[in-house]
Amino acid sequence: MIQPECYQYYEKEGKWVYEQHPFWCTGYTFWELHSEAPGLFFHLSRSDLVFFKGDLNRRMLAYDCAAPASTPFEIAIGPMTSSAGAPKIVSLRTITIWSWVSGTTET
pLDDT digits (tens, 9 = 90+) for 12-39: 898 888 888 999 888 888 888 889 999 9
Residue 2 pLDDT:
62
The residues spanned by each domain of the chain are: 46-94
**End-to-end distance of the chain based on CA atoms, in angstroms?**
30
pLDDT for residue 36: 93
Specify the pTM.
Answer: 0.67
The pLDDT, as a whole number, for residue 64 is 65
Contacts of 49 (CB under 8 A, 6+ apart): 87, 88, 89, 90
